[in-house]
Amino acid sequence: MSNIGKVVGVNGNMVRVEFENDVLMNEVAYVKLKEKRLKSEVIRVRGKRAEMQVFEMTKGIGVGDEVEFTSDLLSVSLGPGLLGQIFDGLQNPLPQLAEQCGFFLERGIYLDAIPANRKWKFTPVAKVGDTVTRGEKLGSVPEGIFEHWIMVPFNQYGTYKVKSIAAPGEYAVKDRIAELEDEKGRTISVNMVFQWPVKRAVDVYAERLKPVDPLVTQIRIIDALFPVARGGTYCIPGPFGAGKTVLQQLTSRYADIDIVIVAACGERAGEVVETLREFPELIDPRTGKSLMERTIIICNTSSMPVAAREASVYTAVTMAEYYRQMGLHVLLLADSTSRWAQAMREMSGRLEEIPGEEAFPAYLESVIATFYERAGIVRLKSGQIGSVTVGGTVSPAGGNFEEPVTQATLKVVGAFHGLSRERSDARRYPAIHPLESWSKYQGIIDKKRTSFVRQALFASDEVGQMMKVVGEEGTSLDDYMVYLKGEFFDSVFLQQNAFDKVDAATTGDRQKYVFDTIISIILATFDMSDKESARSFFNQLRQRFLDWNGAPMDSDEFKKIEGEIMAMLEQHRKESAAEAAEKFKQMFG
Amino acid sequence: MRKIYSRIDEISGNVVTVQADGIKYGELAEITSAHGKSLAEVILLDGGKVSLQVFAGSRGISTGDEVRFLSQPMMVSFSDDLMGRIFNGRGTPRDNGSALTENLIEIGGPSVNPAKRIIPRNMIRTGIPMIDLFNSLVESQKLPIFSISGEPYNELLARVALQAEVDLIVLGGCGLKYDDYLFFKERLESGGAMSRSIFFVHTAADPVVECLMVPDISLAVAEKFALKGKRVLVLITDMTNFSDAMKEIAITMEQVPSNRGYPGDLYSQLASRYEKAVDFDGAGSITILAVTTMPGDDVTHPVPDNTGYITEGQFYLKNGRIEPFGSLSRLKQLVNGKTRDDHRALMDGMIKLYASYKETLEKKSMGFRMSDWDEKLLKYGTLFESELMDLSVNIPLEGALDKGWEILAACFNPDETGLRTNLTSKFWPKKEAVTHG
Ligand SMILES: Nc1ncnc2c1ncn2[C@@H]1O[C@H](COP(=O)(O)OP(=O)(O)O)[C@@H](O)[C@H]1O
Ligand SMILES: [Mg+2]
C-alpha cells in the first residue's frame, strides 16, 4: 500500500506536493522523473499539501509528476565498513558513484553505504539465553585497527532474550547473526547493519559525563591556551582566508583521537580532495596504519545540492555517535556550519517563513544548540567510556562575529577559537586570537602557568597599544621588555608553521617542556642597556627558538640548540641560574 | 509537441506569468512581441501558474503576446567552430560569423564528483612577482580579482591570459563596457591569442537577464573542451554585475533578501559557477580568473564576501598594485614547495616584514621618532614596493626570489629577518654584507 502524491509546485529545490494518505514530518519521498527517482524530505505539512526539500537539482520536474512517500525518516546505515569511506551528505559512497557515473554527479542514483558482499570475521560475545537491550554487544568484527561491535540495533526498544547467535566465522553484513525474542515472544532477526534517523540523537548510553580529559590536538595555541576536551565542543569562526580549514585539516591529522569524521559542508571540493588523496598515503604514527583507516569523510561541497548539505552534518554526527557506542573517542570536524545554516535559510525563504535576523529562520539558535548537544562523553551500559567531540568552523558574513550563526554557536560551545584577519594578514598562523579566544576546559598545562602567560600577553599588548600612541621613545625600557617578551612568546610558541615537518605538530610533552622554558624567559630580568639592544637580543633568541622548533625532540640538534639558548640566557640574565630556578619553583611548584 | 499560450497574466520586473500545463521546471520558452522574439526560462511553478524570466527583458511585452514553450532547457552549440568567435549571453553571434546550431549541450550541468578530482599540481607562471612569488596561481584554481572600479583589472586579466600557457581562453563578459569589450578583443588579437579564444559577451547595454547566462554558458563550453583534454582559462568580468542581475530577479520574485538586498542563496549560486574549476584526471582543466568589483572598496560587501568564501584566494587590486594583505592564493602551497628551497620562507618572511613596515609607517605618520629599526623597515618597504609590487615589473619567479634576497640584504642583518639560519646562510647575498647595527 504505497502512498502516492502529485507535484503541484516547484520553486528552486522546494517542491509542493498534494497527497491522500498520512505523511510523516521528515519522511523521505521520491519525485519520479522519467526513469529517475529524486530523493526528498518532507519539511512542512499543511492540510493535504506537503512541502519537500529535494536533495537534487529540480530541473525538469513538472506539475503532476508523481511522488512516492516511503514512511521512513531520513536515515543512515550503521554497520562495519564505514571507516575509510567518502560519502556525500546522504551517505552515498562517492568513489562507487564515480565508478558508475564517471566525472559528474548524476542525480537520482543512490548506492548502499555499506558494501553488501564484503565478509567480516564475526566473533560472538552474547550467549543464548542472555538478556540484552539496544546498544548492547552481541559480538564483534575487526574493522581496520578497531574492534567493531555488533550491537542490538538502536531502534529495537524492547528487552530481548538471545535465542540464537551465529558461530564464529565470516559473514556479510546482511547475514543473520542473531535471533532475539522480545517480551511478547516475537522473534526478530538481527544482522550487522541497521538504519537510524539522522536527526535523532543516539541515546543508548548509561549516563553522560562531564568533559574533562584534554584532547591533544598538537596545535600549541589550542592545547596550551584554549584547550578542547574529549566530548566537548568548540568553534572556529573567522573571515575567509584566516585559516579555518587548514586548522581543521591539521587537527584531523594530528589529534590524539580514535576516529575522525570530516564533514565538508558546503565549502570547496578541492579542500576535501587534499584530504581524500593524502590520507591514504599518510601513516598515523600511533597506529602505524594509514590515516584513512580512522577517518570518514562526508563531503557535500558548495556546488552539490543544498538540501543534502543541510542533511550532511546530521549524517556525520550520527556516524560519530555510532562509533562512540563502541567505547571509542570520535572527533567530528564540520567545515563550515555557516553553510549548513545558510541551507536552512534558503529553505526557510522558499517556505516563506517569517525571517529572523539576516533572514535566518527564527529557529536557528535552537537547531544549532541541538546539534552541538550531540557531542558528549558517555559511560556505556558496559561501563566503557566513549566520546564525540564536535568542532565546527563558522564563516561569518563580512568576518563580523556579531552575526546570528556565530552568536548562536558561541552560546553553546565550550571553547572559542576566534581567527583574526590582522593575524592572518601578518602571517601569524594559526591566526587564533590569543586575547579574544577562550576555553572552558582544562588543558594539559596547569592553570597557574597559563594564566601567568596570558597575563604576560595582555601586558605586552597593552604596551603595544600604548606605543602606538606615545611612540617607542615614550615607552620605558621596562615596559618595552614586557612588550618584547609577549611578542617573543607569540612568535615562537603561539605561531606554528603548518608546513614544517616537525613544527606542524607538537606533542603534549614537548609543549609542556617548551612552555616552562618560555615562562622562565618571561620571568627573567635581562641586563639590556637600551631598547635597541633588547630588540636585537630577542631577535636572536627568537631565531634560535624557531630553529629549535624545527628540530625533532629526541635529536642531537634539539639538545644542541637548547644549549645555545640557555647560554644566551645565562649571558644576559641578571639572576643566577640558581636564583632563576628558585623563582620559578616558588611560583609554579 | 510545442505548447503555445497567448495570454500573459502578470508582468513584473523581467518576469512574466502565464497559465500553462505540462511545463517543466527550468524549461525554455520563446515570447514573441511587437519588438521581436525573446527567450525566457521557467523559474517557478505554482499549480497552473508558470513564471518565466525574460532574457530580453519585459519592456514592451504585452499581455496578449504569444508564449511558446520549447520543451527543453537552455543549450549551447559545442564544436571547434567556436574558436575565435564572439557571442552574446544567449550564445548568438556578435561577430559576423554564422549562427551555430549543431551539437547542442546543456548549460548549468551537474557538478564534478569530488572523488574524481585530483590535487592541482601545476603552477601557472605570470611573470608578476606579487602572483608568482607571493600568491602563485595554479592550474584549475578559481580566483577572483577584488578591485575598486577604475583599477586596471581588465588589463591584468588580459595580461595573465596572454602570459599563461593554456590551450584555450574563454572570456565571459557580464555587463562589460563596450570599450572594455573592444579592449579585450584588440589585446587578444594583437597578442595572437584570438584564434584560441571564445567570447561570450554581455555588454552593459544588453538586457540584464542575459547577463545571468554568461557564466553558465562560458563554463559549459569550457567544460566540454576540458573533457577533451584542453587546458582552459576562463575569464569572467565582472561577477558583481552577475550578482546584481540575480538580486534584481530575486526582488522581482519577492524573495526575502538576506543581506543588502541579495538573495539568501547568493553563496550557492556563485559557488555552483566557481566550482566548475577543475583538473580532470586524465583530461584537461578549467582555471577561472574572475573580476569582482567591490562597491566602495568594501570587502565585506556581500558579493566579494561570499566570493572570498568560495574561491581559492583572491588578488586584491588597489592603487594599481596587487596588495600583499588581502591577497591570497590558497593553492600556492601545492606548488611552491617544488620551485626553490627558499620560496616558501621568503614568501612569508617578506610579508611579515612588510607588515612591520606598515606599522612603522603608521607611527611615522603620527610624528614619532624613528628608531634604527624603523629606518630599516622604511627602506625595506620602499624597495619592496618599487621592485616587487609595481605591476610593471615582469620577471620570472627565480628572478623575483633573487630580488627578494637582495632587498633583504640591502636593509637587514640575517637574524633580523625571522628566516631560519639554514636558509639565510645558503641564500644571503655574500657581497652585500652589512655591518651589525
Ligand atoms: N597554519 C597555517 N600555516 C600556514 N599557512 C596557513 C595556515 N593557515 C592558513 N594558512 C594560509 O591561509 C590560506 C587560507 O587558509 P584556509 O584554512 O583555507 O582559510 P579559511 O578556511 O578560513 O577560509 C591557506 O591556503 C594557507 O595559505
Ligand atoms: Mg575554509
pLDDT tens sequence across A539-549? 999 999 999 99
Q: Whose CA is nearest to atom 25 of ligand 1?
A: B330
Q: What is the CATH number of the domain that holds B175?
A: 3.40.50.12240
Would residue B338 count as lying in a domain? no
Cross-chain residue pair A302–B23, CB shorter than 8 Å: no
Model pLDDT, residue A364? 96
Tell the CATH topology of A206-439.
Answer: Rossmann fold (3.40.50)
CB pairs under 8 A between A and B: 220
pLDDT, tens only, A89-140: 999 999 999 999 999 999 999 999 999 999 999 999 999 999 999 999 999 9
Answer yes or no: are the C-beta atoms of B283 and B139 closer than 8 Å.
no
Expressed in angstroms and rounded, the spacing between residue B8 Cα and the centre of ligand 2 is 46
Average pLDDT over residues A40-64: 94
Q: How much is the CA Rg of chain B, to the nearest whole Å?
A: 25
Model pLDDT, residue B1? 53
A504 touching B (Cβ < 8 Å): no
B341 touching A (Cβ < 8 Å): no
Residue B95, C-alpha cell as written in the block: 561577430
pLDDT of B436 higher than 50: no
B 131-150 residues with CB < 8 A to A: 140
Expressed in angstroms and rounded, the spacing between residue B2 Cα and the centre of ligand 1 is 53
- Name the closest ligand to CA B313: 1
B 225-244 residues with CB < 8 A to A: 227
User: What angle do helix axes A531-549 and B372-384 make, rounded to 10 degrees?
Assistant: 60
Q: Best of A218, A235, A245, A246 to mutate for ligand 1, by most ligand atoms within 8 A of CB? A: A246
ipTM: 0.89
pTM of the model: 0.93
A530 touching B (Cβ < 8 Å): no
Among B17, B41, B73, the domain boundary falls at: B73
pLDDT, tens only, A272-288: 998 888 999 998 877 88
Q: Which residue has the cell 556479510?
A: A172
pLDDT, tens only, A215-233: 999 999 999 999 999 999 9
Residues B213 and B319 in one domain: yes
Residues B93 and B174 in one domain: yes
Model pLDDT, residue A471? 83
**Confidence bin at B2 (pLDDT 50/70/90):** low
Domain ranges in chain A are 3-74, 119-194, 206-439, 447-588
Residues B116 and B153 in one domain: yes
Residue in chain B nearest A345 by alpha carbon:
B264
Among A235-239, A325-329, A350-354, A444-448, the least confident range: A350-354
pLDDT of B437 higher than 50: no
Residues B406 and B300 in one domain: no
Residues B95 and B215 in one domain: yes
Residues B191 and B52 in one domain: no
pLDDT of A38 higher than 80: yes
Among B73, B99, B119, the domain boundary falls at: B73
Residue B360, C-alpha cell as written in the block: 612603522
Nearest to A67, CA basis, from A90, A26, A106, A38:
A38
pLDDT of B125 higher than 50: yes
Architecture per CATH, domain A447-588, reads as Orthogonal Bundle (1.10)
Residues B304 and B407 in one domain: no
pLDDT of B432 higher than 60: no
**Confidence bin at B386 (pLDDT 50/70/90):** very high
Would residue B335 count as lying in a domain? no
Residue in chain A nearest B311 by alpha carbon:
A268
pLDDT, tens only, A17-28: 999 999 999 999
Residues B203 and B276 in one domain: yes
**Could you tell me the residue range of the domain that residue B274 belongs to?**
81-330
Residues B294 and B267 in one domain: yes
Residues B267 and B250 in one domain: yes
Answer yes or no: are the C-beta atoms of A529 and A572 closer than 8 Å.
no
Average pLDDT over residues B333-343: 92
CA quadruple B148, B154, B159, B162: dihedral sign: positive
Expressed in angstroms and rounded, the spacing between residue A422 Cα and the centre of ligand 1 is 13
Residues B65 and B151 in one domain: no
Model pLDDT, residue A70? 95
Chain B nearest-CA distance from A385, in A, is 34
Model pLDDT, residue B431? 66
Residues B108 and B192 in one domain: yes
Instruction: Name which residue leads in pLDDT, A229 or B296.
Output: A229
Average pLDDT over residues A546-556: 94
Q: What is the CATH number of the domain that holds B10?
A: 2.40.10.170
Sorted by sequence, the CB contacts under 8 Å of residue A431 that are 6+ apart come out as A238, A242, A243, A419, A420, A421, A423, A424
Structural domains counted in chain B: 3
Tell the CATH topology of A119-194.
Answer: OB fold (Dihydrolipoamide Acetyltransferase, E2P) (2.40.50)
In A, which residues are within 8 Å of B276 by CB distance?
303
Nearest to B277, CA basis, from B119, B169, B142, B143:
B142
Residue in chain B nearest A530 by alpha carbon:
B371
pLDDT of B433 higher than 70: no
Cross-chain residue pair B355–A426, CB shorter than 8 Å: yes
Tell the CATH topology of A3-74.
Answer: Thrombin, subunit H (2.40.10)
Average pLDDT, chain A: 94
Instruction: Name which residue leads in pLDDT, A331 or B5.
Output: A331
pLDDT of B377 higher than 90: yes
**Confidence bin at B165 (pLDDT 50/70/90):** confident
Among B40, B73, B106, the domain boundary falls at: B73
Q: Whose CA is nearest to atom 8 of ligand 1?
A: A243
Would residue B336 count as lying in a domain? no
